[in-house]
């Protein structure tokens, strides 16, 4: 990771991932408002119909809401408060690399040279582990209010941070688990919560639909929620393929084509050349943009288990279809 003289947002990967973060923040705001509005309307219906079956559904519904809002795959913690300040910093200042010390605290607190204490919001355990092991980050800022943007090696999504008072704590030590494995576990856990939440709500809706007073749109609601649960189950099955990664093999890599989506994922193909002379093409679908960013900057990609690719030292893993080059 090297510092550049141009503003941070002029890097295409940084700009794309920051835009994804902002869109997710807006989506969570809207979803939160819609869910609690629906909750209020639903409770009004419960009391109006005055049936035993409706309070049963009412008891399960808030649990579904709480589970849904905790889904790590949707929520970008900390971005809501500082997105405007971050955008100003990223648009006017370049990344600068700096050594840091990670403190052994509940949240991610970094000690920058000075010393200057900075708390980073929304940094995953795997990304935090990268900082613990490398002892460096790239930063933009701070501004007059003490707001910064932080970027971790191999992770091009800028995270919001702010200056805090000195914190008395020991230095965090590496956990020893492979970083890729930590990241995969977090994805699987988030998808499992999504599957449980949608299945629970589908069952609740189905129970409610047994009421003879349920209108036709009630059955449509059941169908929609059953479909959502089935989709969550398929996604969970897909990401579970990432868990069983064998030894990683390094290959020289070059992206031949790729197309980024608005949700932070991308499709594309990467040409691979292994040390033994083999040449393969990795066909990627719903891969993280960070994977293509690292291929572009490092000119390498690691392969494991024939259909898993990524970077074992970064929180970047994806499922790929590998085909030989003829």
Residue scoring higher pLDDT (261 or 271):
271
What burial class does residue 284 get, using C-beta atoms within 10 Å of its C-beta: 0-12 exposed, 13-18 middle, 19+ buried? buried
pLDDT of 99 > 60? The answer is yes
Q: Are 262 and 316 in contact (CB under 8 A)?
A: no
Residue 164 phi, psi (nearest 5): -130, 170
Going across the sheet that includes 116-120, the strands are: 96-99, 136-140, 147-152, 155-163, 116-120, 108-112, 101-102
Percent of the chain with pLDDT over 70: 70
Specify the pLDDT at position 284.
Answer: 94
Q: Are 92 and 7 in contact (CB under 8 A)?
A: yes
Q: What is the pLDDT of residues 233-270, one digit of tens each?
A: 776 666 766 766 668 999 999 999 999 988 788 999 99
Kindly compute the dihedral angle of the four CA atoms of residues 202, 205, 210, 211, in this order, to the nearest 10 degrees: 180
Q: What is the pLDDT of residues 4-58, one digit of tens each?
A: 478 999 999 999 999 888 887 777 777 667 767 766 666 666 555 555 445 445 5
- For the entire predicted model, the pTM comes to 0.77
Cα–Cα nearest to 315, from 179, 223, 168: 179
Determine how many CB atoms are found less than 10 A away from the CB of residue 293.
Answer: 23
Alpha-carbon span 298 to 211, nearest angstrom: 60
Specify the pLDDT at position 39.
Answer: 63
Alpha-carbon span 285 to 258, nearest angstrom: 10
Gyration radius of the chain's alpha carbons: 23
Residue scoring higher pLDDT (226 or 67):
226
pLDDT of 187 > 80? The answer is no
Angle at 231 (CA atoms; ends 229, 236), nearest 5 degrees: 95
Q: What is the pLDDT of residues 109-118, one digit of tens each?
A: 999 998 999 9
DSSP 56-71: HHHHHHHHHHHHHHT-
pLDDT of 230 > 50? The answer is yes
Residue 118 phi, psi (nearest 5): -135, 130
269 forms beta bridges with: 257, 283
């Amino acid at each position: 990771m090297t510092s550049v003289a141009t503003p941070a947002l002029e890097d295409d990967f940084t700009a794309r991932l920051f835009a994804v973060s902002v869109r997710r923040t807006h989506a969570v705001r809207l979803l939160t408002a819609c869910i609690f509005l629906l909750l209020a309307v639903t409770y009004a219906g419960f009391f109006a119909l005055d049936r035993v079956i409706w309070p049963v559904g009412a008891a399960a519904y808030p649990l579904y809401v709480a589970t849904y809002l905790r889904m790590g795959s949707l929520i970008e913690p900390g971005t809501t408060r500082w997105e405007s300040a971050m955008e100003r910093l990223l648009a006017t200042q370049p990344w600068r690399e700096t050594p840091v010390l990670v403190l052994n605290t509940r949240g991610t607190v970094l000690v920058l040279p000075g010393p200057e204490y900075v708390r980073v919001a929304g940094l995953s355990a795997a990304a935090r582990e990268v900082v613990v092991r490398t002892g460096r980050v790239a930063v933009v800022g701070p501004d007059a209010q003490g707001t910064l943007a932080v970027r971790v090696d191999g992770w091009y999504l800028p995270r919001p941070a702010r200056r805090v008072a000195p914190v008395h704590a020991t230095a965090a030590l590496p956990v020893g688990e492979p970083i890729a494995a930590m990241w995969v576990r977090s994805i699987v856990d988030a998808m499992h919560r999504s599957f449980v939440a949608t299945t629970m709500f589908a069952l609740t809706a189905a129970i409610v639909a047994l009421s003879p007073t349920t209108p036709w749109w009630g059955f449509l609601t059941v169908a929609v929620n059953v479909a959502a649960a089935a989709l969550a189950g398929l996604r969970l099955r897909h990401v579970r393929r990432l868990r069983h990664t064998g030894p990683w093999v390094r290959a020289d890599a070059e992206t031949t084509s790729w197309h980024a989506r608005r949700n932070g994922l991308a499709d594309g193909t990467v040409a691979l050349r292994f040390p033994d002379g083999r040449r393969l093409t990795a066909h990627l679908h719903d891969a993280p943009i960070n994977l293509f960013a690292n291929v572009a900057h490092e000119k390498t990609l690691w392969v494991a288990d024939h259909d898993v690719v990524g970077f074992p030292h970064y929180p970047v893993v994806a499922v790929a279809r590998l085909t030989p080059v003829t």
